[in-house]
Structure 1
Amino acid sequence: MLTVSPFHIAIPVHNLEECRIFYNEVLQCEEGRSSDHWVDFNFFGHQLVIHYKPKTENQDLYSNPVDGKDVPVPHYGVVLPWEIFHDFADQIKSKGIKFVIEPYIRFKGQVGEQATMFFLDPSGNALEFKAFKDREQLFEK
């Protein structure tokens, strides 16, 4: 299978400046190119572009049940190394970010053991950060 890295993702935001501050200062993503309507970020080695899009009235968060929790759909994020995930989770907690799903461990002691957490950016985009105890099990069944 062809493996390509890094990935590129573009997301809509209704307040470009508020999200610029969030991704730069809260998540510590380095800013790249920008214009009046978009900003590039180094999102953990990947290219994330926030694009201005006016807010619409119906932007309710949708979710699917997973492990008894409401996982937001859609969402995006990255798989971090195990140790970095836990440091990053502590960093996010210290900045007062409200979690949609608090950091927790899934499949403890099983194939695919992973840490995961979900929170929203200021425009309501859901982010998931996760880490696998054994990264080689990323796609194991």
Structure 2
Amino acid sequence: MRETNKIFHLAIPCKDLEETVWFYEKLGCKLARRYDDRVTFDFFGDQVVCHLSPENIDEKPTMYPRHFGITFLEKEAYDQALESATKEELKFFQKPMVRFRGKQEEHMTFFLIDPANNLLEFKYYHDSSMAY
């Protein structure tokens, strides 16, 4: 289980700082710092750093093996994220769906794609014990 005194850090490539800030702020993330070559966000309580690196953009991203995101422990928070992404017209890589229907690990999920083709998954498990 997560300890509250720790923050997860993830660094990803981006191709343009302006469009990156636009996307992540529309997603509800707070811009923490900005430099000439990177931006840092409060990503739902964790730290995501987007490094300007247009030569490292995945032109044909796939969900597996590389994506990142949030597992919500409350359905209302998942619903709010989905509603916000829809309202802000963020680009979906995969529309909302249910995975592992009828099994203990059943969960609701959707994927967004950021301007640098990084894939973000948002999910909610009906059984919170399956979150890990």
Same fold (TM over 0.5): yes
Instruction: Kindly provide the CA deviation profile for residues 78-104 of structure 1, in whole angstroms up to 9, marking residues without a partner as x.
Output: 111322111211111122223111111
Which runs of structure 1 show a deviation greater than 6 angstroms over 4 or more consecutive aligned residues? none
Taking every aligned residue pair, what percent have the same amino acid on both sides? 33
Aligned-partner residue type, residue 99 of structure 1: F
Equivalent residue for 1:100?
93
For these two proteins, the number of residue pairs brought into alignment is: 129
Equivalent residue for 2:53?
53
Change in Cα spacing, 1:61 to 1:73, as seen in structure 2 (3 Å) is farther
Alignment of 1:95-134 (within 5 A): 95-134=88-127
Q: Which has the higher strand share?
A: 1
User: Counterparts of 1:33 and 1:62 in 2: how far apart (Å)?
Assistant: 27
Aligned-partner residue type, residue 94 of structure 2: I
- RMSD of aligned Cα (Å): 2.0
User: Counterparts of 1:138 and 1:107 in 2: how far apart (Å)?
Assistant: 13
Equivalent residue for 2:67?
75
Residue 15 (structure 1) aligned with residue 16 (structure 2): yes
* Structure 1, unpaired ranges of 5+: 64-70
Moved more, 10-19 or 29-38: 29-38
Equivalent residue for 1:67?
none
- Greater RCO structure (CA 8 Å; 6+ sep): 2
User: Counterparts of 2:85 and 2:2 in 1: how far apart (Å)?
Assistant: 30
With the length of structure 2 as denominator, give the TM-score of the two structures: 0.86
Tell me the secondary structure at the aligned position of residue 112 of structure 2: strand
Aligned-partner residue type, residue 29 of structure 2: C
Aligned-partner residue type, residue 59 of structure 2: D
Tell me the secondary structure at the aligned position of residue 49 of structure 1: strand
With the length of structure 1 as denominator, give the TM-score of the two structures: 0.81
CA contact (8 A) 2:11 2:51 kept: yes
CA contact (8 A) 1:61 1:73 kept: no
